[in-house]
Amino acid sequence: MKHHQTRILITGGAGFLGSHLCDRLVREGHEVLCLDNFFTGTKNNIRHLMKAPNFELIRHDLAHPAFLEVDEIYNLACPASPIHYQYNPVKTIKTNVMGAIHMLGLAKRVQAKILQASTSEIYGNPTLHPQPEAYWGNVNTIGIRSCYDEGKRCAETLFFDYHRQNRVNIRVIRIFNTYGPRMHPNDGRVVSNFIVQALADQDITVYGDGSQTRSFCYVDDMIDGMVRMMNGPDTFVGPVNLGNPGEFTILELAQMIIRLTKSNSRIKFEPLPQDDPLQRRPDISLAREKLAWEPMVELEQGLKQTIQYFRGLQDP
Ligand code: NAD
Ligand code: UDP
């Protein structure tokens, strides 16, 4: 009889992070099931995997149940950029909450291990800096970002309730801003926006005065942290922050991207969107201690890789 391969379901597998995770797990020889409704993900992100015998694509919307036989689930399905998650906010909540219930129900039935891609957004506009996992956050329940923030918070609650009530084997990671090749060029996130604008010599749109901060993690580092968490001991369920602790103002990011692309773009200041957090930086002591993980890729190095990808999209 053939040795049993680990069968791994990745929801949102055709998206930015999901497709890199598919790459990694297919390369390691696991049987990978990629589930996606292609709301923000595309077949282009995974086209190169379609011929792999250990890769399978399922078109499905996670607002509805899915019945599959799997050993592990990475639950990533959810639009991640403000433009996309605000496009249909009710759907965003359904994807987060119903999606979590459906995947946790599946994990319970087939006794799969399940990892939730949570987010730094659960900290809201933080009053504590940097943010450790023990911080409960400062989130507006009724603002334009709430569909995402509260959807993700409720998903975390569901994970811990299924864990306590049904002994489901869970992992929860809180992902901080991550960037890299295969980001959607029009998803409005700051790194993709600035690179696309810089390459076209268009104005760089800095919202507010650009003094708000973010910490940017390169995708390869993030995927490594994710897989370490999934494969770590069952006693460490998280939540654990994953992100790069290097902190930059949005204005510094704009200037760095102009320099790296040798662009003639100029900086244009636009209004700051509602509820835009003023500062964000992960405290990653827990990930360092429990997963022996920390990011390796410097912002400048990661941006160069990302710029190269976006140049390729311009002239294929
Ligand atoms: P993405 O938008 O590229 O990927 C999300 C994927 O989920 C897409 O392929 C999309 O089509 C799919 N999807 C959306 N709704 C679905 C539904 N109802 N049914 C099935 N599939 C659905 O975003 P990403 O950056 O790759 O984010 C992946 C996960 O990581 C998300 O859960 C996001 O909240 C989380 N996250 C990402 C970041 C980041 O900086 N990239 C930060 C924090 C958290
Ligand atoms: N931002 C900006 N110009 C843009 C896009 C974003 O100044 O064209 C700012 C945005 O206001 C926020 C930061 O960059 O302060 C990060 O935005 P993003 O949407 O990438 O992610 P967030 O961390 O806010 O979810």
Q: Is the separation of the CB atoms in 154 and 141 below 8 Å?
A: no
Residue 297 has pLDDT above 90, yes or no: yes
Q: Which domain holds residue 151?
A: 7-182+217-244+279-296
Q: What is the CATH number of the domain that holds 104?
A: 3.40.50.720
Residue 94 lies in a domain: yes
Residue 33 lies in a domain: yes
Please list, residue by residue across 176-208, b when 16 or more beta carbons sit within 10 angstroms of its beta carbon and e when fewer do. bbbbbbbbbbebebbbbbbbbbbbeeeebbbee
Tens digit of each residue's pLDDT (9 = 90 or more) over 174-224: 999 999 999 999 989 999 999 999 999 999 999 999 999 999 999 999 999
Residue 49 lies in a domain: yes
Distance (Å, whole) CA 45 – CA 22: 10
Q: Residue 5 — pLDDT band, cuts 50, 70, 90? A: confident
Q: Ligand 1 pocket test: which of 175, 177, 216 has the largest number of ligand atoms within 8 Å of its C-beta? A: 175
Total of domains in the chain: 1
* Amino acid type, 184: H
High-pLDDT (> 70) share of the chain, %: 98
Q: Which of 3-7, 67-71, 252-256, 301-305 comes out lowest in average pLDDT? A: 3-7
Residue 315 has pLDDT above 90, yes or no: no
Residue 136 lies in a domain: yes
Q: Residue 314 — pLDDT band, cuts 50, 70, 90? A: confident
- Give residues with Cβ within 8 angstroms of 278, minimum separation 6: 125, 211, 212, 213
pTM of the model: 0.96
Q: Is the separation of the CB atoms in 96 and 137 below 8 Å?
A: no
Q: Are strands 213-214 and 248-249 parallel, antiparallel or unpaired?
A: antiparallel
* Amino acid type, 294: E
Do you know the residue count of the chain?
316
Q: Are strands 213-214 and 170-175 parallel, antiparallel or unpaired?
A: unpaired
Please report the DSSP string for 204-253 in residue order. Answer: EEEETTS--EE--EEHHHHHHHHHHHHHS-TT----EEES----EEHHHH
What ligand 1 atom has the least distance to the C-alpha of 45?
9
Q: Which residue minimizes the CA distance to atom 5 of ligand 2?
A: 190
For position 25, what pLDDT does the model report? 98
* Amino acid type, 68: L
Question: Mean pLDDT throughout 107-113?
Answer: 98
Residue 75 lies in a domain: yes
Residue 3 has pLDDT above 70, yes or no: no
Question: Mean pLDDT throughout 159-172?
Answer: 98
For position 316, what pLDDT does the model report? 56
Q: Residue 1 — pLDDT band, cuts 50, 70, 90? A: very low
Name the residue among 122, 130, 160, 109 with its Cα closest to residue 245.
Answer: 130
Active site residue 148: yes
For position 236, what pLDDT does the model report? 98
Helix (H, G, I), strand (E, B) or coil at 267: strand
Residue 168 has pLDDT above 80, yes or no: yes
Residue 122 lies in a domain: yes
Q: Name the catalytic one among 74, 85, 148, 162.
A: 148
* Higher pLDDT, residue 152 or 187: 152
Residue 313 lies in a domain: no
Rg, C-alpha atoms of the chain: 19
Residue 202 lies in a domain: no
Q: What mean pLDDT is reported for the chain?
A: 96
